[in-house]
Structure 1
Amino acid sequence: MNRQQQQGWTLVELAVALVIAALITAAIVPLIPLGTRIAAGDVAGRELDDAQQAIIGYARAQGRLPSADSDGDGKQDAGRTTGWLPNKTLDLPPRIKLRYEVRPSLQESTHSYTPQLPGAFAAQLSSTPGGLDLCMKLLAPPEASLTLPGMPAAFALLHPDGIGNEARDIATTPPGGIDRLSGARLAALGNGELAGRLACMDRVARVQGAALNAQTAYSADQIAEFNAAFRDFDVDVAELVLAQANTGLAFAGLGLAQALIDQALAVILTYAGWPPDGTAIAIGVDITVMVAEHSNALGSIGYAIYQLNLASKDVESGKEGLETAQNVAALAVLQQARANNLYKAAGQAAVNLNDGGIKQ
């Protein structure tokens, strides 16, 4: 009896275990496809993210978005805006097979942005289309060729196996129809978001700021050059003033010499008894006249000495003025050199930033 009861309980336990296993199986089996779909969705999300990063890297390096692959060879076909993502061009693994559509103007190499630089630096700017040209297109009002619900898109990617959807061949999607597909997983970047990821506002602002600095430095250089030329003119004027002062000093010395000669002759003639008294009476010369002549000669000597002193002071003043003008001119030349160096540095910085575009 005990043995039969023991066997009966074993069968009951087995039955209970089978029932529990059946319930667990019934609960788990429906979740398997859901888990598969979730895993597939995660893979699709990662592939879309990898593709977006590759496109952004290509845009940063080439200054434009890649064209589409129209024949499935993995390489971009120039001018094509709808097709497969060119995974070979973007160095993506072949397993990433995505539908791709790009705004036409963003995959074209057109030169549309040139900063205003002064002087010779304007000719040094590269005319090759680059990242800043792409930035200006992204920041401009977009054309209506690729518009997804709620935003104008720069490019769009479509994965053939989205969450909860069966895999499908989307290579037959008509051009321009990527935004109308439903079911497959879609990823897109708007113009503003792509411009933000490429740091377009910062890059353009840096180039514009450098160009403005170059313009300011160029103006300062021109002013410094004019100032240096004007100070050279001051030196020429100071040299002329000094030459005139030296001439005045020479004339003053000559006047003093003439006055001394006249006085010496008058003294010699007086001491020699000239003219004799008889002659003086005969010709009506009064001795007081000779005294007056001596007085005039002495006055001329004094005046000549005074003029000589003034001329000497003028010469000293002229020398000081010339030295001051030369010092100011030398300072102006130094300031011009500094302004010119600043202008060259600012201009070259603007050229480098423009040529570097969004690669830096």
Structure 2
Amino acid sequence: MSKQQQYRFSRQTHHFGRDDSTSIWERIHIDPWLMLLLLTLSFIGLAILYSASTQDVSMIIRQSVSYLLGFTVMIGMAQIPPGVYRNFTPFFYVIGLFLLILVELIGEVRMGAQRWIGIPGFGSVQPSEFLKLGLPMMCAWYLSGRDLPPNIVTVFSTLAIIVLPVLLIAKQPDLGTSLLVAASGIFVLFLAGLPWWMIGSAVAMMIPTVWVGWTFLMRDYQKQRVLTLFNPEADLLGAGWNITQSKTAIGSGGLTGKGYLEGTQSHLHFLPEGHTDFIIAAFSEEFGLLGVSVLMFIYACILVRSLYIAAIHVDTFGRLLAGAIALSFFVYVFVNIGMVGGILPVVGVPLPLVSYGGTAIITLMAGFGLLMSVYTHNTR
């Protein structure tokens, strides 16, 4: 099989699934299906947050403001053509690196981690969140100006672009975010047509890389999280408490759940972080397997729609960026549910658009704004 045959993602015709008419949604640069799915997910998020936070109205108001800001950012970013983003991508990437270095110098320390920059009169921002978009944009910008599939020099140059911010984020320390940011860049490289022999070589190199990371990079509490994954019962009242209570909440929901506002694990504060990282456990307890299935179906629809947008785009930059955003969104969902379900270590990744948190919501919605820009400004 030739390289051109291997990589079909970047050869999709722009006429696939499109016609020559322009709808009102395209004129206002909004994808109605994606908008409907995101609105539905946001309302579900507010409903379960109200229950998981033990009916804390102030938290609901703050989350609603975050949603409002997120949708405003999304709609605003959708109006800007992808070409503008492509031109400003290097500056955005450099600013992101500068902010990560600034975190090392003057960042706020919370719970042993130095991840935030305080802004007087505004609050705090977490620069690593912005690299979730800045890094795939930079990789797409770099690869779009070169022949695809990439040669060995292009691959290593792209990896250098990825490694620098990932190491800065991991040093904060924030292993979970660093892995997610790395994944967003790797997805761009993969979609650019990475040869199979390179993929196989990378998989083979992961074995010694994991050993190096475990021995020299990971801190004691991060190692403990990995060990707890394999045997949470070894320390039920300590390191294994989170995952044990999470499994209890999920299992007690059964098929149909206990009913809305009837959950006990979160309401009685047995479930840690029930309104953030472990909110899917609170949702499962109240709505059961059927409710979780509906939620997963919505996530799947968002993923499929996002990949469709990536597949029909003409420009290489927009196609690679849209594909990376779609796959990164899938990883966020998979990691959170895997973490809560006990098949992945606890790394502090929120459930997209459902968990409480302002910066994460705005970053996600900015990503979907880029997707809508790519779709509605598609060159015919």
TM-score normalised by length of structure 1 = 0.23
Q: Which has the higher contact order (CA 8 A, sep 6+)?
A: 2
Give the greater-gyration-radius structure (CA).
1
TM-score normalised by length of structure 2 = 0.22
